[in-house]
Amino acid sequence: MIADGHDVTAAAQRWGVSRQTLYAWMGRYEADGLSGLSDRSHRPRSCPHQMPPLVEAAVLELRRVHPAWGPRRIVVELARRGVAPLPSESGVYRALTRARLIEPGARRRRRESWKRWERGAPMELWQLDVVGGIGLADGSTAKALTGVDDHSRFCVSAALMPRERTRAVCDGLTAAMRRYGVPQQILTDNGRVFTGRFGHPPTEVLFDRICRENGVDHLLTAPRSPTTTGKIERFHRSLRAECLTGQLFGSLRLAQAAVDEWVEFYNTQRPHQSLDMAVPADRFTPLAPARRPVAGGERSGDDWVSRRVGANGVVCVSWQQVSVGKQHAGARCDVQVGDGLLQFWIGSELCKTVARTSRGEVRKKRASIPQLTS
């Protein structure tokens, strides 16, 4: 074309290429001769979506310091630190794979028959269990009563004990209730420290009695059904991986301090995948501490009403029915009505504290309690 003086447009049409391609060939020929027309790499000069080296270095460093963190958690931590541009989860996964920090393999998909469930509000249900394997320097191992709120995954109990004993378990339960309030229900397995319903003969253990006296419905899992308490089991996995594995504590007191520090981090700083990477404290609202009136004092303020406990142990306030226990059937129950709470008192005993779900008018009727005659 150059020697014979052909037109670029006519030559491009003759050989079936575009004018732009022909101009590119001419430029390469003029620069390098025939060698400039050899095939070159088709790799683009730049890749806008490629992870910058500084960001990739931050990803690998987070994974080195925290081996249990996956791509999703690493992306959340990078966002907290203001790293820009923020990589995607798949990009972080590829970076970890290139560095051989993750072994690529087939992912185990969740069975379609499994259904995720949770309660609609905090303090509706606590899941409690006992976990062991806490190593001490003297060669012994300790156990812990653990508990999480079903709605928020907030840890309400992590009380350590030398051995799994009824009194230690019940002390952990009462300490959690004093700190956060009384839940509506508690779910446990069928361990002997939790229930005696399956004994021969059936008996009421101390744990059952505490639940009954506080108006808590004690729910039990079916035999050989660990997925029913899946949230507390998943909490145990995190506790072991991030706090207990490879640790030997000098004493039970030091172990409790370490667990308490980790629980504070878990509740207030550690993002939870099932909560859309929010922390449990964002979804947990403990009940206000009970304001105990003087025993035998008059409860006649504007925020007090009186009811008689029904034969089924239920008290009705503003069309909201609450069970305070059949053992109180026929007794007078004083109810303190707050903006968001109802507190049920029988004598000097606080039987139950629940969230107020009804906003209807509260009638100021007094309980009619029959008097015993001699």
pLDDT band of residue 370 (cuts 50, 70, 90) is: very low
Tokens for 135, please give them.
Answer: 């190593």
Q: What is the DSSP string of 265-308?
A: HHHHTS-BGGGTTB-GGGT--PPPPP-PPPTT----STTEEEEE
C-alpha–C-alpha distance, residues 308 and 325, integer Å: 12
If you average pLDDT over every residue of the chain, what do you get?
A: 84
The distance in angstroms from the start CA to the end CA of the chain is: 129
Percent of the chain whose pLDDT exceeds 90: 34
For the chain, what's the residue count?
374
What residues have CB less than 8 Å from 198, skipping those under 6 apart? 190
Task: Calculate mean pLDDT across residues 4-16.
Answer: 84
pLDDT at 9 over 90: no
Q: What is the DSSP string of 44-70?
A: -S--TTSPPHHHHHHHHHHHHH-TT--
pLDDT at 374 over 50: no
The SS3 assignment for 146 reads strand
- Burial class of residue 134 in the structure, from the number of CB atoms within 10 Å of its CB (0-12 exposed, 13-18 middle, 19+ buried): buried
Task: Calculate mean pLDDT across residues 2-21.
Answer: 85
Handedness of CA 169, 170, 174, 180 (dihedral sign): positive
Overall pTM surpassing 0.85 (yes/no) = no
Tokens for 196, please give them.
Answer: 């005696």
C-alpha–C-alpha distance, residues 232 and 73, integer Å: 21
Percent of the chain whose pLDDT exceeds 70: 90
- Residue 26's CB is within 10 A of a number of other CB atoms, namely 14
pLDDT at 158 over 70: yes
C-alpha–C-alpha distance, residues 1 and 86, integer Å: 51
- Residue 231's CB is within 10 A of a number of other CB atoms, namely 20
pLDDT band of residue 153 (cuts 50, 70, 90) is: very high
Residues 92-124 pLDDT 10s = 999 999 898 888 776 666 666 666 678 889 999
